[in-house]
Amino acid sequence: MATAVLESLIEVDHYAHLMARAQDTDAVTSVLNTYLSSWSEERIERLQAIDGGWAPFDEWLRPMPILGVRDILFLPRAIRDHCRAVRAAGVEIATELLELDLVLFFAAERAAGDDSGRALAMEYA
């Protein structure tokens, strides 16, 4: 039986595969929204205990919609900066935050490779 971390890793694999196959940023957005809607309330609660308010879930533990390339590029930076801060404080990063960080990173890199995302990615660089 897979452990919690391995289950998380399998999720990352699944959604990274879908993003790699996405034809454009609209498809990446759709995959990302599907991914966020797959989170259980229990997992969101654990995430919100450590996300510094940056994860895309509201106070009712519902996913906030990713509206397009701007969100896809902004969110991973916010989460990654938060992870850096957590790491710098000498704290282990929770599995939920790690999983979100990796999925958002794959989404952002995929979107930044697309024509519509390239200019924005340079803006954020």
Partner 1 sequence: MATRGDSELPTDLGLRRALARIAAAESAAQVLRSVQTYLSTWPRERVVRLQLLDGGWAPFDEKQRPSRINGVRDLQRVHNAVRRQCELLRQSAIAPNPELIELDEVLYVAVQAAQLLQARKSKAQSEGAA
Contacts with partner 1 by CB under 8 A lie at: 1-6, 9-10, 12-13, 16, 20, 49-50, 80, 83-84, 86-87, 91-95, 98, 101-102, 105-106, 109, 112-113
Query: Which of 11/62 has CB closer to partner 1?
Result: 11
Nearer to partner 1, 13 or 41 (CB): 13
Length of the chain, in residues: 125
Distance, in Å, from the CA atom of 98 to the CA atom of 110, rounded to the nearest integer, reads 18
Nearest to 46 by CA among 112, 106, 99: 99
Backbone angles phi, psi at 80, to 5 degrees: -65, -40
Nearer to partner 1, 36 or 107 (CB): 107
| Residue 33 CB, nearest approach to partner 1 (Å) | 20
Tokens of 104: 């958002």
Specify the 3-state DSSP secondary structure of 105.
helix
Minimum CB distance to partner 1 smaller for 27 or for 98: 98
Minimum CB–partner distance for residue 106 and partner 1 (Å): 6
Least distance (Å) from partner 1 to the CB of residue 78?
14
Any residues with CB less than 8 A from the CB of 70 and at least 6 apart, and which? 120
